[in-house]
Amino acid sequence: MRRLAVQNLTGKPVRTAVLTVLAALLALAVFGGSLIVTSLRTGLHSLEDRLGADIMVVPYEATTKTNLEAIVLQGATGYFYMDNARAEKVLAREGIGQASEQFFLASASTGCCSLSVQIIGFDPQTDFSITPWIRRSFGGELQKYDVVVGNDLNAFVGDTLQFYGTEVHVAAKLAKTGTAYDTAVFTGEDTIKALIASSVERGMNQFTVDPDKVVSCILINAADGYTPEEVVNDINIHVKKVKAIQTKEMISGISDSLSGVRDVIGVLMAAVWVLGLAILLLAFTMSVNERRKEFAVLRVIGASRGMLAGLVLREALLTGVCGGMLGGVIGLAVIVPFNRAIEEQLGLPFLLPGAGTVIGYFAAAVILTALAGAAAAGIAALRISRMDTGLILRGDN
């Protein structure tokens, strides 16, 4: 009886192929949909981690001309500076817990294959947002002219890069975050000051600044007893020509789009499933009706009602498992290699979960599809197990 199910399926290759493809579609929908939604959620968490501070303070023009959000969220390049004196005023306000200064620079898009790259310098003494991340892939200390590159940069440990004629050395490559930081270069305060100096010397910086007297951005965590909102308001009211931004608000736009995408994917998945289940239900019912006589013959030679139902369910389960595997493999073959293209299309942080999670989703999709197949065949199985063999044989002629 076990082989009979397989033989019934291989005996009708076209019908079986159509049903398998349909099952593959169901699995693809649930696997692909949930993998994309999870990757977006992982990407958002990763972005929250990477921003790593409650508040960012930038010169006022960074909210108008060169947009901070474009740099942090969309991977655009840009830079802006404010005087140390202004930074001191900010740091003198009440309610400031941790604070660290950052320095921005964008490389010129010269050379054969380089687009402009965002360079972010941090102060190793005070930094609390970038160092923990670097620690995950690099244990040593950053020397002068050492840089750490984001995961999506086509540069490797030991490579030498040139920015404004100054050679720097790639000391480490960061783990993937699925955010705009994946295409940035990070370095210590002394290195970036040297790079800013060479850009100014060569007249390639749009500002004429003394790198020792400016900062680009201050990251702040609110002190105990203060909310980030209070600190932001305090700075914006009392310090001129700067803008304090709550990172949570910056991200809120992204989490809104994320829930929008999730809703769309949810509706699509539901539509595919409703339609697919209806077709499977119809197909299994028709296939069983078509073979009423064969089932009657099985009864005649001694198959019990349970065995007939088992045969129908086994055919459906086999179809579901094969189709589910096929759909899962197609999903993997599309989403994993093309995850960067998907990220580009969606314009949202996108980070694939670990291999274990992906395998778990794969298995869940296959099991769910097999169960759906069995459920769709359930009615047919029930009907065939209740049929009156005598009447079918008698009604034949």
Q: Enumerate binding residues for another protein (CB under 8 A).
A: 1-4, 7-8, 10-12, 75, 112-115, 117, 151-155, 182-183, 293-294, 296-307, 333, 337-338, 340-341, 343-344, 388-391, 393-394, 396-397
The token duo for 219 is 């990251």
Cα gap 35→19, rounded to integer Å: 24
Cα gap 294→289, rounded to integer Å: 10
Nearer to another protein, 175 or 341 (CB): 341
Q: Residue 67: which region, alpha, beta or left (left: phi > 0; alpha: psi -120 to 50)?
A: beta
Nearer to another protein, 275 or 391 (CB): 391
Q: Of all helices (H) and strands (E), which one includes residue 395?
A: none
- Contacts of 273 by beta carbon, 8 Å cutoff, 6+ apart: 26, 29, 30, 372
In degrees, rounded to 5, the angle at the alpha carbon of residue 19 between the alpha carbons of residues 13 and 23 is 135
Least Å from the CB of residue 149 to another protein: 10
Least Å from the CB of residue 339 to another protein: 8
Least Å from the CB of residue 25 to another protein: 19
Nearer to another protein, 92 or 300 (CB): 300
Nearer to another protein, 65 or 340 (CB): 340
Cα gap 93→151, rounded to integer Å: 37
Least Å from the CB of residue 298 to another protein: 8
Residue 137 near residue 174, CB atoms below 8 Å: yes
Nearer to another protein, 158 or 337 (CB): 337
DSSP-assigned letter for residue 212: G
Nearer to another protein, 19 or 82 (CB): 19
Least Å from the CB of residue 221 to another protein: 30
Least Å from the CB of residue 2 to another protein: 7
Beta-ladder partners of 39: none
The token duo for 71 is 């740099």
Q: Between β-strands 184-188 and 118-122, what pairing exists: parallel, antiparallel or unpaired?
A: parallel
